[in-house]
Amino acid sequence: MRPALLSPDEVVAALSALPAWQQSGVTITRTYTGDSFMAVIAWVVAIADAAERLDHHPDLDIRWTSLQVTLSTHDRGGLTSLDFTLAAQIDAICR
């Protein structure tokens, strides 16, 4: 069973633990900058592994040494706990 949508107050609380992430409508987004294109690609592979384990898949936009990650629970039409769980895991990957 997929988690329920978070209330606006729950989203604000969850974002307080992930201050580099920005909310835009029903998504959260963060951009990371790597040392090289290959470093960013290594992040993408690690993110893909984490996403598969959670069965929750981000939108990824790679631009040379920049990686923009956007999360939303598409089948729920908004933000759920899965988005914030994966965001925290991505933060740990993209240090």
DSSP reduced 3-state for 20: coil
The reported pTM is 0.96
Residue 82 has a pLDDT of: 98
Please tell me the class of the 8-93 domain. Answer: alpha beta
Q: What is the pLDDT of residues 38-77, one digit of tens each?
A: 999 999 999 999 999 999 999 999 999 999 999 999 999 9
The pLDDT of residue 1 is above 90: no
Altogether, the residues listed in the chain come to a count of 95
The stretches of the chain forming alpha helices (DSSP H) are: 8-16, 37-54, 81-93
> What are the domain boundaries of the chain?
8-93
